Amino acid sequence: MASHGNAAKLALAAILLGFCGAGFGSPTPTPWPEQFHALLLQNASGKLSTVDLWYDFPNGRNFNIIHSQLGSTLYDLEWTNGTSFFYDLDAGSCRTVHVPVGILPPDWLVGNSTYIGVREVGGFTCNVWSKADDFIFYYEDVETKRPVYWIFYTGREEYVMTFEPGKVLEDEGWQAPWYCFDREENKSFQENGGDTKEPSELFKHSTLGKKLGKNLV
Ligand SMILES: *[C@@H]1O[C@H](CO)[C@@H](O)[C@H](O)[C@H]1NC(C)=O
Ligand SMILES: *[C@@H]1O[C@H](CO)[C@@H](O)[C@H](O)[C@H]1NC(C)=O
Ligand SMILES: *[C@@H]1O[C@H](CO)[C@@H](O)[C@H](O)[C@H]1NC(C)=O
Ligand SMILES: CC(=O)N[C@H]1CO[C@H](CO)[C@@H](O)[C@@H]1O
C-alpha cells in the first residue's frame, strides 16, 4: 500500500513538474540552424523593405540584401573577421566598415535572455524573449519553433515570411564588387559613387548591434 501511494505521489509530482515547467524554467529559445535563408518584411518607422537574410555561421558570414519598397537595393555583407561591406550595385558605391566582433552564433539568444510569455503575432502563437535590456524582442512559433517576428528598441520590426534551414548562398554571391577594394586608386570613382549613407545610420538599421556586442541583421 505504502509503496503504491508513493508511486502515485511521484507520478503526480512528475505531471505537475511537466505542467509547471514554464514556472520552474522558462522555455528556451531554439538555436538557429547553422545556415539558413529567410525572407523578411521589414518595417522601419513605416519605411518598408524586403530583406533576404543569408545566415552562414560555418563560413563566418552574414548577408542582408535590403530591397526598399519601389527603391534601391542595399547589400550589407558581414564577415566574422570584422569587415563589413555596404554596397549599392546600381549606384556603384561601397563603404567598408570594420566591426571588431564576429557574427552572432546560432545560440545567441539562449544565454541571458528574459522570457516574456506567449504572444500572438500575424496569427501565430509565439513564445517571446527579450535580450540585452529590451534591445530586442524575439518571437518564436510555439509549435514549429520557427522564428516569426522580432522588433528592436527603435521600433524597427522584421516579419519572417519564409524560413529555409540549410539553404546556402553560393560563394559567388558573397563577392563584394571591385570598387569595395583598393580605395586609394579608385578614390574619385567612389567619391562620385553617390554613397551618402553613413555607416552609423546603416548600422542603426542593419545590425543587431553593439548592444549585443555582435554584428548581425
Ligand atoms: C509600420 O510601423 C509603423 C510604426 O512605426 C506603423 O504605424 C505602420 O502601420 C506599420 N506598417 C505596416 C505595413 O505594418
Ligand atoms: C575579411 O574577409 C573578407 C572576405 O574574405 C575579406 O574581403 C576582408 O579583407 C577580410 N578582412 C580582414 C580585416 O582581414
Ligand atoms: C551573460 O551575461 C553575463 C554578464 O553580462 C556574461 O558574463 C555572460 O557571459 C553572459 N552569458 C551568456 C551565455 O551570454
Ligand atoms: C586596384 C584596383 O582595383 N583598381 C581598379 C580601379 O578601377 C578600375 C576600373 O575603372 C579597375 O579596372 C581597377 O582594377
Q: Does domain 35-212 have CATH number 2.50.20.10?
A: yes
pLDDT confidence of 200, banded at 50, 70, 90?
very low
- What is the pLDDT averaged over residues 179-183? 79
Cell numbers for 187: 578614390
Distance of CA 102 to the CA centre of its chain: 13
Q: Residue 56: beta bridge partners?
A: 35, 61
- CA 88 to centroid of ligand 1, rounded, Å: 26
Q: What pLDDT does 41 receive?
A: 98
For the stretch 164-177, pLDDT in tens is 999 999 999 999 99
Q: DSSP alpha helices (H): ranges in the chain?
A: 2-19, 21-24, 187-191, 199-206
DSSP codes, 151-167 = EETTS-EEEEEEEEET-
Q: Which atom from ligand 4 is nearest to the alpha carbon of 178?
A: 3
Distance CA 178, CA 186 (A): 10
Asked whether 83 lines ligand 4 (CB < 6 A), one says: no
Q: Which residue has the higher pLDDT, 68 or 20?
A: 68
- Is residue 133 within 6 Å of ligand 3 at its C-beta? no
CA dist list (Å): 72 to 51, 87, 191 = 12, 11, 19
**Spatial separation of the C-alpha atoms in residues 174 and 95, rounded to whole Å:** 15
Categorize the per-residue pLDDT at 5 as very low, low, confident or very high, splitting at 50, 70 and 90. Answer: low
145: phi then psi, degrees, rounded to nearest 5: 70, 10
Q: What is the pLDDT of residues 61-99, one digit of tens each?
A: 999 999 999 999 999 999 999 899 999 999 999 998 887
Which atom in ligand 1 lies closest to the alpha carbon of residue 45? 5
Res. 35: pLDDT tops 70: yes
> Which of 104, 108, 110, 112 to mutate to test ligand 3, by most ligand atoms within 8 A of the CB atom?
112
Using the predicted structure, report yes or no on whether residue 192 has a pLDDT greater than 80: no
CA of 66 to the centre of ligand 2 (A): 22
Residue 186 Cα to ligand 4 middle (Å):
6
Amino acid at 103: I
Mean pLDDT of 41-59: 97
- For residue 111 and ligand 3, the question of a CB distance below 6 A is answered with yes
SS3 content of the chain, % helix, strand, coil (to 5): 20, 40, 40
pLDDT at 182: 66
Residue nearest to atom 9 of ligand 2 (CA): 83
Q: Atom 6 (ligand 1): residue with closest C-alpha?
A: 46
Looking at per-residue pLDDT, the higher value among 206 and 95 belongs to 95
Supply the residue whose CA is at minimum distance from atom 4 of ligand 3.
Answer: 112
Helices H, strands E: what count in the chain? 4, 11
Q: What is the mean pLDDT of the chain?
A: 82
Give the helix/strand (H/E) hosting 114: strand 113-121
DSSP states of 182-214: -TTTTHHHHHTTT----HHHHHHHH-S-GGGTS
d(CA 78, CA 41): 20
Secondary structure of residue 12 in the 3-state scheme: helix
Residue nearest to atom 6 of ligand 3 (CA): 112
Per-residue model confidence (pLDDT) at position 36: 98
Q: How confident is the model at residue 25 (pLDDT cuts 50, 70, 90)?
A: confident
Task: Give the residue extent of every domain in the chain.
Answer: 35-212
Nearest residue (by CA) to ligand 1, atom 1, is: 46
| pLDDT tens by residue, 90-123 | 999 999 888 777 889 999 999 889 999 999 999 9
Residue 204's pLDDT is 40
Residues 153-169 have a mean pLDDT of 97
Query: With bands split at pLDDT 50, 70 and 90, how would you rate the model's confidence at 215?
Result: very low
